[in-house]
Amino acid sequence: MKNKLISYGPCQMPTLHFVWEREKDIKQFRSLKYHILTFSISYNNLTIGSFHTTSHDMRIFEDSLSEYKDISKNNIVKINKVSIGQNFHKRPIALNTVLMLKLASEHLGMSPNTTMHIAEKL
């Protein structure tokens, strides 16, 4: 890059920040195992809900499950199905246009059209 000038200003700073944050997340990533608990509950033979939750701490599930078992002992509600699984968090991927649109929508409430318009100006 001899004899070439790189310039950046206030318009490029948000983009540089997103790229830097993503690179930092990728480098510092450590895959953690998490547990998945899924169960459905019925009342008078009608399913009233299916529940799905995740946690890194299996004790949370054991406590929740014991509470629901206590509730189901009184024959008011019944736990129909319980499944417990495990999975690992995936490494973050580098930023791309689809991910940019998703993040702008989720965190900033911006439409894809507005996001692309702003990105093009950067």
* 109 in the same domain as 83: no
* Domains identified in the chain, total number: 2
Cβ neighbours of residue 18 closer than 8 Å, sequence gap 6 or more: 95, 100
**Could you tell me the two tokens for 55?**
């946690």
CB atoms within 10 A of CB 43: 11
Per-residue pLDDT of the chain (122 residues; tens, 9 = 90+): 566 766 666 777 777 787 888 888 888 888 877 777 777 777 777 777 766 677 767 676 677 667 766 766 766 666 667 676 777 777 777 767 888 888 889 999 999 899 988 888 87
Please check whether residue 8 lies inside any domain of the structure.
no
Q: Rounded to two decimals, what is the model's pTM?
A: 0.37
Please check whether residue 23 lies inside any domain of the structure.
yes
* 62 in the same domain as 47: yes
The pLDDT value recorded for residue 109 is 92
| β-strand partners of 36 | 54, 85
Which residues constitute the domain of residue 18? 13-29+91-121
The pLDDT value recorded for residue 2 is 64
CA angle 97, 115, 9 (to 5 degrees): 90
* 83 in the same domain as 40: yes
**Could you tell me the two tokens for 42?**
């019925």
The pLDDT value recorded for residue 7 is 66
Please check whether residue 65 lies inside any domain of the structure.
yes
